Structure 1
């Protein structure tokens, strides 16, 4: 996600600074080179040696005659993005007022002047975050193009955003944004049909693949709506659903102004009439299954020109058969392309897939996150008419 990117990591005097050692490790795990910059307040919470170990680089603790701020964030500086995590109320206010009296605020002033992307992850007590001056400062610097990894409001505190949220915002700020201005709708996960108040008819999909696509599209600048059976995520507007009918309805609404749909969800092919009371066990039971509408067919009827990426999971098929079945769906629904894979990868971190286009087939084997990147790159090509 951050392969080849240089991230300058600013650390200020919030107690959340204790999390920055692991954050630095995570940034590096995602491919970034990291150099840390610390305020005096931050050094009272986490030792510079800890960040030196985490980044494998010298830590800037003061601005000297070597003009470290220019070296990092000036014109042609080392950093591709300057990330401040955590950022105190004091730091956010100073950045808005062009006050640069710490190594972190001096780097921020330099970054804003040079056009180096700036990402801020605030962390403070909730009343401080709700101070009108702090809110105004956030609004002001957002107008300058600064990105924020919004805090989690819990227990009277505006806690620092999750590592995933911070990494996503950092990658989005650092990289190219070929999907900027594009609305991407992604379906993910499984659907469940209630048999009775306790039992459901469902499948084994974990939703990892769809979430990976959504994250990759967000990093590339897209505005993403994720329709799935899971929780909120930091990289998309989430519409939580349970049944196939709910997924179809929410997807239909989301696609009214969509630029592309990625139908990665494993939507149940059948539904059943729900018993209002628990069905007693110990006796034979026959369920009458009714087919559910095909989501891609329904959306195609609504939006004849909308680019749609389909997924096709099969079992026990050889490659030629998978390609043939994928092409049948491709032609029947007029899809942009189809991602075909074996259902055995459901729930795994890794996958094997075929990206089946009208004229060619691309093969992929690796992580689902990597396949999400491949799919997002293909969507970017489609969206830009190349």
Structure 2
């Protein structure tokens, strides 16, 4: 996501500066090179040695005759993006007024004048964040193209965003924007059809691939709507995944009917639709009360509506990317099934895979259009490949049927 990207990390005097080491490690874990820049107030909260250790680089603590601000953030400077995390109310106000009296604000002035991407992650007490002047300063700086990573409002504080959200926003600012300005709708997860108030019919989809596609589209510059169904039955795993709300407008659904309604509404203003969710092929008429156990039971399965068909009927020119899961383990069968749905719906391309990868971190897929291309890797890498391919097709008009 940030492979080879040079990030100048500005640190100011919020108590959230204690998160700097974690943020620097997260950026580097995703492939970035990081150099720290600290204001005098920040040095009273976290020692420059800690930042040097976290970044594996010397830290700028003052502007000298070596013009460190130009070396880092000038037109021919080292950095690909300036990230200020945390940014105090004081710092945001100074940037909005072109006041550069600390190494961080001097770098910000230089970066903005050099058209270098700038990302700001504010952190302060909530009343300070709600101050009209601070809100006005944020709005003004956003108007200059600066990206803001919204804080988490908790316990009367505007706490700094998570390291994941900050890394995503930094990648978005530093990544060539193949999907910039595009509105992308992505579906993810497993739909569930109610049998009674307790039981459901569902499948094993974890939603990981759909979320990876949504994240990758966000990083590529898109405004993303993520329609997320449930997460199918999987063993407990360690750790918690990042909140999708940090990279998409999330609409949560359960049944195939709910997903269909949400998809049709979201597709009305979209530039592309990516159908990753494992949508139930069948539904049932649910019982009003819990079905008692200990008896023989038959369920009448009714076909569910095909969501991609409904979207295509409503939006005949909308680029659609599909996912097709099979259980045969045979590449030829997967390609045949993928081409059948692509031809029926008129899809830009289809990503085919075997059901055995449901819930796994690593996956193998076949990208199917006129040709067949195998792609292996993490679901994050597959998501990035889908976003890149969609960006190419939108850019050259193929996805829009303009050949």
TM-score interval, smaller chain: over 0.9
Distance 1:43 1:272 in 2: 63
Q: 1:378 — aligned with what?
A: 389
Partner of 2:273: 261
Is the Cα–Cα contact under 8 Å of residues 121 and 160 in structure 2 kept in the other structure? yes
Partner of 1:362: 373
Pick aligned residue for 1:284 from 292, 296, 306: 296
Q: Which residue of 2 aligns with 1:124?
A: 124
Aligned to 1:6: 6
Equivalent residue runs for 1:204-283 within 5 Å: 204-229=204-229, 232-283=244-295
Whether the 8 Å contact between 2:211 and 2:244 is mirrored in structure 1 is no
> What is the rounded CA distance, in whole Å, between the counterparts of 1:288 and 1:124 in structure 2?
57
Q: CA–CA distance in 1 between the matches of 2:46 and 2:192?
A: 47
Equivalent residue in structure 2 for 1:347, among 359, 368, 382: 359
Match in the other structure for 1:177: 177
Per the TM alignment, residue 316 of structure 1 is displaced from its structure 2 partner at its CA by 2.5
Which deviations, in whole Å up to 9, do the C-alpha atoms of 1:290-316 show, x marking residues without a partner? 111111111111111111101000112
Distance 1:305 1:239 in 2: 24
Q: Counterpart in 2 of 1:26? A: 26
Q: Is the 8 Å Cα contact of residues 229 and 277 (structure 2) preserved in structure 1?
A: no
Report what 2:236 is aligned to.
none
Post-superposition offset of 1:279: 1.6
Alignment-derived partner of residue 135 in structure 1 = 135
Which position in structure 1 is the counterpart of 2:148?
148
Q: Give the Cα separation in 2 of the matches to 1:221 and 1:150.
A: 17
Deviation at 1:232, TM superposition (A): 4.5
Q: Which runs of 5+ in 1 are unaligned?
A: none
SS in 2 for 1:364: strand
Measure the CA separation in 1 of the matches of 2:44 and 2:358: 46
Aligned residues: 385
Name the CA distance, whole Å, in 2 between partners of 1:273 and 1:154.
43
Helix, strand or coil: the match of 1:233? helix
Secondary structure in structure 1 of the residue aligned to 2:170 = helix
Cα displacement string for residues 127-168 of structure 1 (whole angstroms, at most 9, x for unaligned residues): 110000100000010111111001111111111111221111
Q: Distance in 1 between matches of 2:329 and 2:362?
A: 19
TM-score (norm 1): 0.98
Moved more, 75-84 or 166-175: 166-175
**CA shift at 1:101, angstroms?**
1.1
Query: What does residue 85 of structure 1 align with?
Result: 85
Structure 1 residue aligned with 2:401: none
Structure 2 distance, partners of 1:195, 1:45, is: 57
The alignment partner of 2:396 has SS state of coil
- Residues 29-77 of structure 1: CA deviation (Å, up to 9, x unaligned): 1111100111122112211111111111001111111111110001111
Q: Structure 2: where are the runs of 5+ without partners?
A: 231-242, 398-403
Question: 1:322 corresponds to which residue?
Answer: 334
Cα distance in 2 for partners of 1:20, 1:243 equals 42
Q: CA deviation at 1:196?
A: 1.6
Matched, 1:335 2:340: no
**CA drift at 1:317:** 2.8
Counterpart residue number, 1:71: 71
Please give the root-mean-square deviation of Cα atoms over the aligned residues, in Å. 1.1
User: For 1:116 and 1:179, how far apart are their aligned partners in 2?
Assistant: 19
